[in-house]
């Protein structure tokens, strides 16, 4: 089976500083792939570059189509979606408006189905649909950011640190939803510092250190790798 | 001062305030969406007013040709920027918007010139011409530098203002023009008498603000514009093009400017450079609203209008000075209330 997303030999620089060096990765259809690594390893930079937010050298193919020359908006139209670390919600607009705008590129009839799907995944958003996005709690904002991305019916959802700063119960909820997305046919590329939770649901994993991938393999294998256990999973997993 | 004069001044202030409210709203909209401080807003006013006056006098306004010329430049830019991924569909769309649309307007203008058109036709035609100019102005001058700092955008904005004022002199000459009133009716209530034109100003301003409110609150494109203003990156991530939002904002601003011009040109004589002063007052109003708040902007507009009316009665030589001085206490208060901000980083 050919990969849905292929990144080959990516180099990303901030001015003269190279933040990501010769990174290659693949995400297959119906797969959850995770990139774990410490703060500042270049994970967020890589996701932003795949989405077109940052310029990069190297190839990005998505669904067989070359993405490297496309704008963010065109990448969204071809089914790629990013939930960024800072969520980038429309804070002074209602939850419903945020979701509606998530479906900006798709037909009205499809948008109605998307609403139903998002409200089923996140019933909390339905309760709060008239509330302003900026007044939601952190967990609800994360749900809204994911919901808004799903409204556009993406083929691949890229999640940047979805568990950051959230209570453990809500984190569990979010990870459960990520698992449900795979069942619904959406692939997920997940960037996480919470390596334990990420490796539990992922099919495949990459370990990133100082801008490079140092390890790659099926998630269960990575989860038992001595080096990974020592650096990222600590005693909890022992 | 007796009550009649007081009421008359307040009425005059409200009429002016309505115009400033429209202009201020347009400035806030354009700044929020594109970060451009729209100095050429005043030129939209002049172009709208003088195009309407010229059409009413049975002549062809030069602005219609300007729209075509700008369309051709915009088409060139579109083709150049899309040269690496040139689809037939893309070329066709650019051709339709950049060439067919302004040529159709020019055709209509040439057809209409020299005939006795109704006021509605002249108004619609003037709005269309200025709307096209506004759209292409964004496409040519601002879209290619949309990612730069507010300062660069401001410098480009001043450049556009100067260029458009120069074109205004070429098209309309140094003489002032006046247009026919939308309504010649008059209404007297007690000591107050309203001219049909000032009633039209109130009515159209209110109707336009209601339309804008409906547009922003209930339509997908209106919400997309708001979303771009609230969070540019967020908007791009859901697939809203910033160029689309920018074009929409400029389109609305130019229509608002032209409409304001058409509303005032029957009341006062407009020259090719009058719009700048009117636009600046819209700017004062927008600054009082902090370039973000629509309701404060609208209220400030009526305040500025009334201050202007009273100062032109008591100290007409210092009328402009008094109005522009209003901005100083506002800026002082704002700088005290708001924490110090570094130059933006994006």
Residue A99 has pLDDT above 90, yes or no: yes
Residue A197: inside a domain: no
Query: What is Dmax (Cα atoms) for chain A?
Result: 51
Query: In this predicted structure, what is the pLDDT of residue B342?
Result: 52
- Burial class, A203, CB count within 10 angstroms (exposed 0-12 / middle 13-18 / buried 19+): middle
Mean pLDDT of B283-290: 86
Predicted confidence band of residue B189 (pLDDT cuts 50, 70, 90): confident
Mean pLDDT of A154-178: 90
Q: Note the pLDDT tens digit of each residue in A180-205.
A: 998 888 999 999 888 888 999 999 99
Which positions in chain B touch A152 (Cβ < 8 Å)? 238-239
Predicted confidence band of residue B61 (pLDDT cuts 50, 70, 90): very high
CA torsion sign for A225, A230, A233, A238 is: positive
Q: Residue A100 and residue B223: Cβ atoms within 8 Å?
A: yes
Query: In this predicted structure, what is the pLDDT of residue A109?
Result: 84
Query: In this predicted structure, what is the pLDDT of residue B341?
Result: 56
Domain ranges within chain B, ordered by starting residue: 3-181+224-337
CA distance to partner chain A, nearest, from residue B225 (Å): 10
Work out the percent of chain A whose per-residue pLDDT is above 70. Answer: 97
B 67-96: CB under 8 A from A: 84-85
Predicted confidence band of residue B298 (pLDDT cuts 50, 70, 90): confident
DSSP secondary structure letters along B115-184: S---HHHHHHHHHHHHHHHHHHHIIIIIGGGTTS-HHHHHHHHHHHHHHHHHHHHHHH-SS-B----S--
Half-sphere exposure of A159 (CA within 13 A, CB side): 31
Q: Residue B238 and residue A76: Cβ atoms within 8 Å?
A: yes
Closest by Cα among A197, A83, A25, A207 to B238: A83
More confident residue, B289 or A65: A65
Please state the domain count of chain A: 1
pTM: 0.86
| Best to test chain B binding among A44, A73, A95 (most B CBs inside 10 Å) | A73
Mean pLDDT of A68-89: 92
Residue-number span of the structural domain to which A117 is assigned: 89-153
Q: Any idea which residue has 């984190």 for tokens?
A: A171
Q: Residue B231 and residue A148: Cβ atoms within 8 Å?
A: no
Convert B174-229 into a string of H (helix), E (strand) and C (coil). Answer: CCCECCCCCCCCEEEECCEEEEHHHHHHHHHHHHHHHHHHHHHHHCHHHHHHHHHH
Closest by Cα among B253, B211, B264 to B17: B264
Which of B224, B230, B233 lies closest to A104 in CB terms?
A: B224
Check: CB of residue A219 under 8 Å from CB of residue A204: yes
Beta-carbon contacts of A111 under 8 Å, excluding residues fewer than 6 positions away, are A100, A103, A151
Query: In this predicted structure, what is the pLDDT of residue B340?
Result: 60
Which of B230, B231, B236 lies closest to A72 in CB terms?
A: B236
Half-sphere exposure of A58 (CA within 13 A, CB side): 22
Interface A-B: count of C-beta contacts within 8 A: 67
ipTM exceeding the 0.90 mark: yes
CA distance to partner chain A, nearest, from residue B231 (Å): 6
Tell me, rounded to whole angstroms, the distance of Cα A60 from its chain centroid.
Answer: 16
Check: CB of residue A88 under 8 Å from CB of residue B237: yes
- CA-CA distance, B306 to B11, in Å (whole number)? 8
Q: Any idea which residue has 């070359």 for tokens?
A: A66
Beta-carbon contacts of B168 under 8 Å, excluding residues fewer than 6 positions away, are B43, B46, B47, B50, B272, B273, B275
Q: Any idea which residue has 């908007």 for tokens?
A: B235
Residue B188 has pLDDT above 50, yes or no: yes
Query: Does A110 touch chain B if contact means CB atoms closer than 8 Å?
Result: no
CA distance to partner chain B, nearest, from residue A105 (Å): 6
> Cα-flanking dihedrals φ and ψ of residue B209, to 5°?
-65, -40
Q: Residue A73 and residue B224: Cβ atoms within 8 Å?
A: no
Q: Note the pLDDT tens digit of each residue in B38-55.
A: 999 999 999 999 999 999
More confident residue, A53 or B335: A53
Q: Residue B223 and residue A101: Cβ atoms within 8 Å?
A: yes
Residue B346 has pLDDT above 50, yes or no: no
- Cβ atoms within 10 Å of A33's Cβ, excluding its own: 26
- Output the average pLDDT for chain B: 89
Q: Which of these ranges, A8-12, A69-73, A228-232, B129-133, has the smallest mean pLDDT?
A: A228-232
CA distance to partner chain B, nearest, from residue A188 (Å): 16
Q: Which of these ranges, B14-18, B36-40, B60-64, B334-338, has the smallest mean pLDDT?
A: B334-338
- CA-CA distance, A111 to A151, in Å (whole number)? 7
- CA-CA distance, A29 to B31, in Å (whole number)? 42
Distances from the Cα of B54 to the Cαs of A114, A119, B60, in angstroms? 52, 57, 7
Predicted confidence band of residue A238 (pLDDT cuts 50, 70, 90): very low
Q: Residue A76 and residue B220: Cβ atoms within 8 Å?
A: no
- Burial class, B160, CB count within 10 angstroms (exposed 0-12 / middle 13-18 / buried 19+): buried
Query: In this predicted structure, what is the pLDDT of residue B213?
Result: 87
Q: Note the pLDDT tens digit of each residue in A107-157.
A: 888 888 899 999 999 999 999 999 999 999 999 999 999 999 999 999 999
Mean pLDDT of B276-285: 90
Residue A117: inside a domain: yes
Query: In this predicted structure, what is the pLDDT of residue A237?
Result: 42
């Amino acid at each position: 089976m050919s990969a849905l997303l292929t990144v080959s030999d990516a180099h990303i620089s901030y001015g003269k500083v190279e933040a990501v060096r010769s990174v290659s990765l693949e995400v297959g259809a119906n797969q959850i792939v995770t990139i774990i690594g410490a703060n500042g390893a270049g994970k967020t930079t890589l996701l932003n570059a795949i989405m077109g937010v940052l310029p990069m050298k190297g190839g990005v193919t998505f669904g067989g189509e070359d993405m490297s020359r496309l704008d963010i908006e065109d990448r969204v139209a071809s089914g790629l979606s990013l939930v960024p670390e800072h969520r980038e919600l429309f804070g002074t607009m209602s939850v419903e408006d945020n979701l509606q705008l998530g479906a900006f590129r798709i037909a009205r009839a499809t948008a109605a189905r998307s609403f139903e799907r998002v409200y089923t995944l996140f019933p909390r958003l339905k309760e709060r649909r008239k509330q302003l996005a900026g007044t939601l709690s952190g967990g609800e904002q994360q749900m809204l950011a994911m919901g808004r991305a799903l409204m556009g019916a993406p083929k691949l959802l890229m999640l940047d640190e979805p568990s950051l700063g959230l209570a453990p119960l809500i984190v569990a909820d979010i990870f459960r939803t990520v698992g449900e997305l795979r069942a619904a046919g959406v692939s997920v590329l997940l960037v996480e510092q919470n390596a334990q939770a990420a490796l539990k649901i992922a099919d495949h994993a990459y370990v990133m250190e100082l801008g490079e991938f140092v390890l790659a393999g099926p998630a269960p294998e990575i989860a038992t790798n001595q080096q990974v256990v020592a650096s990222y999973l600590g005693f909890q997993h022992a | 001062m007796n009550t009649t004069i007081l009421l008359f001044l307040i009425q005059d202030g409200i009429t002016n305030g309505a115009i400033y409210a429209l202009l201020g709203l347009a400035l806030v909209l354009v700044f929020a969406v594109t970060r451009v401080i729209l100095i050429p807003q005043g030129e939209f006013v002049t172009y709208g007013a003088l195009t309407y006056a010229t059409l009413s006098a049975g002549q062809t306004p030069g602005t219609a040709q300007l729209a075509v010329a700008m369309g051709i430049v915009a088409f060139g830019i579109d083709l150049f920027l899309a040269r690496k991924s040139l689809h037939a569909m893309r070329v066709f769309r650019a051709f339709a918007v950049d060439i067919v649309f302004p040529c159709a307007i020019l055709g209509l203008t040439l057809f209409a010139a020299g005939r006795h058109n109704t006021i509605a036709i002249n108004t619609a035609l003037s709005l269309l011409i200025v709307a096209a100019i506004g759209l292409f102005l964004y496409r040519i001058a601002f879209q290619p530098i949309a990612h730069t700092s507010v300062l660069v955008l401001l410098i480009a904005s001043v450049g556009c203002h100067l260029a458009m004022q120069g074109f205004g002199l070429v098209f309309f000459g140094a003489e002032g023009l006046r247009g026919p009133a939308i309504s010649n009716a008059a209404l007297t209530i007690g000591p107050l008498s309203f001219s049909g034109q000032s009633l039209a100003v109130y009515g159209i301003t209110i109707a336009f603000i209601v339309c804008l409110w409906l547009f922003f609150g209930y339509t997908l494109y209106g919400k997309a514009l708001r979303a771009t203003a609230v969070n540019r990156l967020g908007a791009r991530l859901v697939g809203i093009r910033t160029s689309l939002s920018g074009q929409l904002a400029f389109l609305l601003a130019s229509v608002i400017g032209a409409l304001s011009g058409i509303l005032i040109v029957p009341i006062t004589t407009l020259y090719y450079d009058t719009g700048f002063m009117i636009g600046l007052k819209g700017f004062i109003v927008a600054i009082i609203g902090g370039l973000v708040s629509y309701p404060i902007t609208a209220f400030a507009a009526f305040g500025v209008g009334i201050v202007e009316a009273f100062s032109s009665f008591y100290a007409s030589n210092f009328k402009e000075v008094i109005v522009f001085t209003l901005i100083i206490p506002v800026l002082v208060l704002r700088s005290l209330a708001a924490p110090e901000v570094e130059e933006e980083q994006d």
